[in-house]
Structure 1
Amino acid sequence: MTSMPRTTFHQLRTLEAVVRLGSITRAAQELHLTQPTVSAQIHELQQALDAVLVEPAGRGIRPTEAAQLLRAAALDMFARWQRFEDELQALHGLERGVLRIAGVTTTEYFIAQWLHRYTTEHPGIDIELAVDNRDAVVRRLREEAIELAVMMMPPEQPPLEGVPLMDNPLVLIAPLDHPWTRLARVPRRMLDGAPLLLREPGSGTRLATEAWLRAQGRQPQIRATLGSNEAIKHAVAAGLGVAFLSRHALADDPARDGVVIVPMAGTPIQRQWMLVWRRDRRLSLAARRFVEHMRAQPPQPPATTPASPAPAPPGDTGQAV
């Protein structure tokens, strides 16, 4: 006869968080528990298993090998329980469940519309949505805090599967009165030494911009780093510099944001939005249905008004370099 566990799901969930985060304090914060409660649950586990699970390390703690083994077993149990809940839901149709999904910051302009379409078909599904920069979304995937993610530049690790959703053109924007807006075509060499605004490190838009600049051999002057699309737009409109930004982050008429799309050779930078998930984890029924939903009803790019560059002044050839 298979022996029954001497632990509870709550204890295992606490142990998993402590091992993953390497800290009782951070585990308590994530689980919304007090530190004494977390410490007590770890102590109870150690007594039940007659094994040391954490050791002092400086001012903190270090999980032992036994704790790593227990975490792996707990994750297997959690996955098996998830499969049971999925199968139970499938018996009655997808009436309840939770979709845990994250999107990089630019998705805030459209991801709610996608989720609304999905919940209209599945009104019993609760949504847990996080919107953060690329590095934070990747970390959530690694830590299994989410099942699905929408991003532009998926990482190599953890191994992912995904489906393309829609194009994400990155356009060069400048203030309304910028001299480049009077050219029919702006040569790429004019970026050399130009004041450029970038998103923060870890942003997919920044990674794509830097990769494009390297490929083009261009060396602008990095004037400022800003932490959001809205901050970038306001700074460009104020004349602080030019910037590459997703077309989805701009109004249908960019002039409403106080900017203009610059007709530079080689732009827009063409990228795609991807819906991704971990290849080594089984998706919940709610997540699988969302993937099927997005495949069956691919999102359409938001309506945009194309940029209309002014005629080239006399003597300008508009040649791209």
Structure 2
Amino acid sequence: MRVTLAQLEAFFWTVQLGSAQRAAQHLNLAQPTLSLRLKDLREAIGVEILERSGRGLRPTPEGRALLPRVAAIMAELRGIGGADPARDIAGPIRVGLAEGFAVTCLPPLLAALREDHPALQPEWVVSTSTVLETALLRDTLDIAVLLNPIGDERLSMTPLGSQPTSWVAPAGWGLAGPVSPRDLWDVPVISNPPPAAMHRQISGWFATAGIAPRRLSACTSVAVIAELVAGGIGAGLLPVRMATRYVAEGSMTLLAANPPVENGRLFTTYRMGVEEPKVMAVARAISRVLASIDYLQP
């Protein structure tokens, strides 16, 4: 049995839109016709390329390996026919954002995607970068913005730049910088738990003096850590743009540090070899939004 363009088109749009029903509607086909094309493609290739995911379908590992080649064929057909490539940017996509980044950047990113690709249906997952990196490797996310990722050969990581980061303390403490590791050694410090990027940044900074913070508390939410610092509970390490609102309202102080705090490094990350239109559209939107809001360290 040979592979046909109709079969590849059925597979491409089922992956893009997340279900055979939506793909059939998009292609103006009866669903049984589309399902038959998917069945014939599976038999022609000899491996399972789709699997159930809730009420929809998603590609298997073999399907994800096939997808870039199918997407390239679809792109060639669009070029021959003069079709608008933006039409392909439709359906669900799972996007992970490091929480400190999301607090500032999610609203403009969501607005940009709605404007550029109104048929795209992003599902936002906000967490620590280590959790998101694991989700990418488990194929439960399609693309993510990670802070100081650990790295894996199965992931493609494109550097975005440095996220300005600073020690912050409750304004009521009356601390003034520059602070050294020994200045903060005995004060309450709140951090994401290990092996989160924030915890690695804090541990590395104290390690420059050969010490560890004595009163370190763990909290999984960066936004909650900001609230705790503003509430006078402890010091923390936050993205500068995230801390700006608290500084302006007088509840938090930015502290210069000696040695300087190492800024976080942001990466757009997705599984190696996966360059489908939706993923690349989100990657482009992330870069454009960061430039428009002047978020990164020059």
TM-score (norm 2): 0.69
Task: Specify every segment of 5 or more residues in structure 1 that has no aligned partner in the other structure, as ranges.
Answer: 15-29, 34-72, 305-321
State the distance in 2 between where 1:145 and 1:248 align: 29
1:117 aligns with 2:112: yes
Asked if structure 2 preserves the Cα contact closer than 8 Å seen for 1:173 and 1:260, the reply is yes
Asked if structure 2 preserves the Cα contact closer than 8 Å seen for 1:148 and 1:277, the reply is yes
Task: Report the CA distance between 1:143 and its aligned residue.
Answer: 1.4
SS at match of 1:164: strand
Larger radius of gyration: 1
SS at match of 1:269: coil
2:54 equivalent among 26, 31, 48: 31
What's the C-alpha RMSD, in Å, of the aligned pairs? Answer: 3.5
2:212 equivalent among 216, 219, 241: 219
1:104 aligns with 2:110: no
State the distance in 1 between where 2:137 and 2:100 align: 21
2:190 equivalent among 187, 197, 202: 197
Letter matched to residue 77 of structure 1: G
Asked if structure 2 preserves the Cα contact closer than 8 Å seen for 1:248 and 1:302, the reply is no
Q: Pick closer, same or farther for the CA change 1:206–1:80 going to 2, 3 Å.
A: same
Q: Which residue does the alignment assign to 1:230?
A: 223
Q: Which residue does the alignment assign to 2:169?
A: 174
Asked if structure 1 preserves the Cα contact closer than 8 Å seen for 2:50 and 2:63, the reply is no
Q: Which residues in structure 2 correspond to 1:120-269 (within 5 Å)?
A: 120-181=115-176, 185-252=178-245, 254-256=247-249, 258-269=251-262
Task: Report the CA distance between 1:135 and its aligned residue.
Answer: 2.5
SS at match of 2:175: helix
Asked if structure 2 preserves the Cα contact closer than 8 Å seen for 1:235 and 1:241, the reply is yes
Q: Which residue does the alignment assign to 1:53?
A: none
Q: Pick closer, same or farther for the CA change 1:134–1:303 going to 2, 3 Å.
A: closer
Asked if structure 1 preserves the Cα contact closer than 8 Å seen for 2:129 and 2:196, the reply is yes
SS at match of 1:240: coil
Asked if structure 1 preserves the Cα contact closer than 8 Å seen for 2:205 and 2:261, the reply is no
SS at match of 1:177: helix
State the distance in 2 between where 1:216 and 1:159 align: 36
State the distance in 2 between where 1:133 and 1:232 align: 13
Q: Pick closer, same or farther for the CA change 1:289–1:74 going to 2, 3 Å.
A: closer
1:288 aligns with 2:277: no
Task: Report the CA distance between 1:288 and its aligned residue.
Answer: 2.0
1:64-94 deviation per Cα after TM superposition (whole angstroms, max 9, x unaligned): xxxxxxxxx9532354356536644672322
SS at match of 1:250: helix
1:76 aligns with 2:62: yes
Letter matched to residue 283 of structure 1: E
Q: How many matched pairs?
A: 247
State the distance in 2 between where 1:130 and 1:171 align: 25
SS at match of 1:94: helix
Task: Report the CA distance between 1:144 and its aligned residue.
Answer: 1.6
Letter matched to residue 217 of structure 1: G
SS at match of 1:299: helix
1:270 equivalent among 255, 263, 285: 263
Q: Pick closer, same or farther for the CA change 1:144–1:259 going to 2, 3 Å.
A: same
Give the percent of matched residue pairs that are identical in Structure 1 and Structure 2: 15
